[in-house]
């Protein structure tokens, strides 16, 4: 018998992915919407890191921002209102090999999804959570959201909101087992990219609040800090978000902040409009390390485990 060289013995060429490989349907957000910038940055990070498209999944709830999975050339799950994080946690629990991005908004996450937000932060499963915060319900045409500013006139409060807005940063910092909290702005692509890149490099739940413009229903809510960047506090530290000096110069008000300092992070979040990394605790345990145990068990082993557990209740 002669030994023949089979095709499978040949060296497989390394795959290279371009931005087109991470592009799904044509984005149908309004012109000038900040969502376009976030989508582009996520696709660029996937391209720059050469993340396998078939090993990437975008998860969302309901809202303008939650259209993101449709525009990614990866796996996607467009969930129900407020449930993006529960779906993402389920994926991480059973498929920890996948790269998970979560797109959710200030209404989707902080209102109907508030309970899931708290527990997802506590579970600290490895995913990047993108909060598209435009201070309004945009998809359903201008209702107030939990982050709508005081006095903001909208369809559910035509005379203006009467309650102070929720502060997502201070709330998240107060949740047990939190490991990564950052804030950025959609109109500075360099800082947006650096922030999401740092979030993706972190192992755990990376909570990134993005101040995101809605040119149709809340175009005025961020005009103050856009027109006067000195009202933004830029957080600078060797362990923070790294950007070039040419971008730093755009922020007149800066502060050295060690992201391992929780109390200082809380003080900054409560009293300022910060951009940068507020808190980072890389050694925080990830729940998926425990919830994914036994996922490779066969049917017989699973049935045996189930029967053994039920036998404990036999009388």
In Å, what is the CA distance from 291 to each residue of 44, 50, 89, 190, 248? 31, 28, 10, 36, 41
Cα–Cα nearest to 222, from 282, 293, 167, 148: 148
Whether pLDDT at 232 is above 50 = yes
Whether pLDDT at 4 is above 60 = no
Here the tokens at position 36 are 């376009």
pLDDT, tens digit, 9 for 90 and up, residues 83-123: 999 999 999 998 999 999 999 999 999 999 999 999 999 99
Instruction: Please report which confidence band the pLDDT of residue 6 belongs to, taking 50, 70 and 90 as the band edges.
Output: low
Quote the percentage of the chain above a pLDDT of 70: 96
Cα–Cα nearest to 102, from 124, 119, 78: 78
Whether pLDDT at 293 is above 80 = no
Predicted pLDDT of residue 292: 74
Cα–Cα nearest to 214, from 128, 168, 148: 148
Here the tokens at position 199 are 């979030």
pLDDT, tens digit, 9 for 90 and up, residues 191-228: 999 999 999 999 999 999 999 999 999 989 999 999 99
Whether pLDDT at 2 is above 70 = no
197 or 291, higher pLDDT: 197
Following CA atoms 101, 105, 110, 113 in sequence, which dihedral angle do they give, to the nearest 10 degrees?
Answer: -60
pLDDT, tens digit, 9 for 90 and up, residues 234-288: 999 999 999 999 999 999 999 999 999 999 999 999 999 999 999 999 999 999 9
Whether pLDDT at 66 is above 60 = yes
Question: If DSSP codes are grouped into helix, strand and coil, which group holds residue 39?
Answer: helix
Domains and CATH numbers, the chain: 17-286 (3.40.50.970)
Rounded CA-CA distance 214/203 in Å is 31
Rounded CA-CA distance 147/63 in Å is 15
């Amino acid at each position: 018998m002669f030994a023949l060289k089979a095709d499978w013995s040949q060296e497989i060429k390394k795959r290279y992915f371009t931005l087109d490989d991470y592009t799904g349907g044509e984005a149908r957000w309004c012109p000038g919407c900040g969502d376009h910038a976030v989508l582009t940055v996520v696709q660029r990070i996937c391209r720059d890191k050469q993340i396998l498209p078939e090993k990437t999944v975008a998860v969302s709830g309901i809202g303008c921002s939650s259209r993101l999975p449709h525009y990614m050339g990866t796996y996607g799950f467009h969930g129900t209102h407020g449930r993006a994080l529960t779906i993402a946690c389920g994926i991480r629990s059973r498929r920890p090999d996948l790269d998970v991005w979560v797109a959710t908004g200030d209404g989707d996450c902080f209102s109907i999804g508030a309970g899931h937000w708290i527990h997802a932060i506590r579970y600290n499963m490895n995913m990047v959570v993108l909060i598209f915060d435009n201070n309004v319900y945009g998809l359903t045409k201008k209702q107030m959201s939990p982050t709508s500013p005081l006095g903001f006139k909208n369809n559910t409060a035509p005379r203006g909101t009467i309650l102070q807005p929720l502060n997502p940063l201070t709330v998240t910092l107060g949740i047990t087992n939190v490991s990564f909290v950052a804030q950025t702005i959609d109109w500075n692509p360099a800082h947006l990219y650096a922030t999401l890149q740092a979030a993706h490099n972190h192992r755990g739940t990376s909570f990134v609040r993005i101040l995101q413009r809605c040119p149709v229903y809340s175009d005025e809510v961020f005009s103050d800090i856009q027109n006067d960047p000195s009202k933004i506090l830029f957080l600078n530290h060797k362990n923070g978000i790294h950007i070039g000096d040419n971008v730093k110069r755009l922020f007149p008000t800066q502060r050295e902040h060690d992201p391992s300092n929780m109390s200082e992070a809380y003080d900054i979040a409560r009293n300022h409009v910060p951009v940068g990394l507020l808190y980072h605790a890389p050694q925080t345990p990830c729940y998926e390390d425990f919830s994914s145990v036994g996922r490779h068990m066969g049917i017989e082993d699973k049935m045996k485990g189930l029967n053994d557990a039920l036998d404990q209740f036999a009388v």
